[in-house]
Amino acid sequence: MGIKEETFYEGGPHIGDLIFNLFLATFVIFIPLTIGSIVRAIWLRYKITDRRISVTGGWMGKDRTDLVYSEITDALTIPRGLGFWGDMVVTLKDGSRLELRSLPRYREIYDYINERVLAKTGQPLVSVAEKAEAAATQTT
């Protein structure tokens, strides 16, 4: 029997990403972006629990990546679609990065991940503004 996990978010990318890119497909130059959003909508799934982040994707949804919170050193969010959804880049201790594209409720998910990282490592994630401020004080 597996370890019990409490799921915070489970689902795919935000539907607005697909709708927006389908609208852009009326312009021929945006067709590759539209194909990418269709593939994400069909096969990409996120599961964020109190123990890990799991991303299932790739061709036919056969690739799976699991991250535990103790390995995360940094996470950055970028709003998309007027702030209704966003992208997140999670950086691990070994320097590798994982992109979470078109996340719905990305601000809540970032806060949840920050709480879990703080509980596991004792150090909160540092925002981009805090990093810039720290770099500015070091150079002066």
Instruction: Give the model's pLDDT for residue 116.
Output: 93
Look at residue 129 in the predicted model and tell me its pLDDT: 66
Q: What are the structural domain ranges in the chain?
A: 7-133
d(CA 38, CA 24): 12
What pTM, to 2 d.p., does this model score?
0.84
Residue range 7-133 forms a domain whose CATH class is mainly beta
pLDDT tens digits for range 50-107? 999 999 988 887 899 999 999 998 999 999 988 899 999 999 999 899 999 999 999 9
Q: What are the strands, taking DSSP E only, across the chain?
A: 7-11, 45-49, 52-57, 63-68, 72-80, 85-92, 97-104
Task: Enumerate the β-bridge partners of residue 68.
Answer: 52
* Cβ neighbours, 10 Å, residue 45: 16
